[in-house]
Amino acid sequence: MRDILTAPFVKEMMDTTANMYRLGWDERNGGNISYMLEEEEVKEYLDLDKVIRTIPTGFQADSLIGKIFIVTGTGKYFKNVKDDPETNLGIIRIAEDGTTAELLWGYKDGGRFTSELPAHLMSHMARLSVDPLNRVVIHSHPTHTLAMNYVHELDEKKFTHTLWEMCTECIVVFPDGVGVLPWMLCGNNTIGEATAEKMKEFRLVVWGMHGIYGAGRDMDETFGLIETVEKAAQIYMLTAHLPRVNTIKDSEMVELAEAFGVKYRKDFLNL
């Protein structure tokens, strides 16, 4: 059995959490990540018949039974993951009852997965229904994206359109747009259900006055989606109070999307 700390998926979690903390996206224990793993890649590092303990998830996830995830822990600071991954991360498998997680590794201090796990599982289920290759869900609090929530109308068409105007790459990187939810109480199944419903259309969902959810096929794609939104939001916050002299026109956005062959939300443009 190989050393779990050398596993690529553990290293990806260590590097990503460190990056997110460095960028100021995940203060204290804000933010969480879940990453669906293939059984074949995990069994090189863990005995999959050895269950350390079981933890109720608080959610019925029948379509994820047997699926394995590496997940950040509740109350854990992203800045500490790299120095002590076994305490701050855990590898779980959804048990046969669909409502229990079998802990295969991690949470060595007796901890458990993020309180947002039901929202993550719902988002995984929603994304898998439209993209069978989806594996990653990231929740974070990017500073400029959050700031934009306070000064921009929380309408997903208008919010997306403004972001698309900020950087030439935006309509190419997230042509499906950004879903937007109003402020909702976090840590419960209601916000998870609302997020999952949006995830059927969008890979990015803004939680009003809270943060953003991103989903993708791998860590780079998911991180890059949030990173691009945050860059666009930063440019918006730097320029919103100034006279607009230039902008990317809707006709130019169409030209971009068609040149790069992406399927974009035509209804989010003013044509």
Percent helix, strand, coil in the chain, to 5, is: 40, 20, 40
For the annotated catalytic residues, the residue numbers are 116
Question: What per-residue confidence (pLDDT) applies to 117?
Answer: 94
- What are the backbone angles phi and psi of residue 122, rounded to the nearest 5°? -60, -40
Q: Which residues pair with 8 in a beta bridge?
A: none
Q: Tell whether the torsion through CA atoms of 211, 216, 219 and 223 is positive or negative.
A: negative
The whole-angstrom distance between residue 189's C-alpha and the CA centroid of its chain comes to 17
Residue type, 226: I
pTM over 0.75: yes
Q: Which residues pair with 72 in a beta bridge?
A: 89
**Domains, the chain, ordered by start:** 1-114 (3.40.225.10), 116-271 (3.40.225.10)
CA-CA distance, 42 to 161, in Å (whole number)? 41
Closest by CA position to 91, among listed 124, 132, 125, 43:
43
Show the low-confidence residues of the chain (pLDDT under 70).
none
Question: What per-residue confidence (pLDDT) applies to 186?
Answer: 87
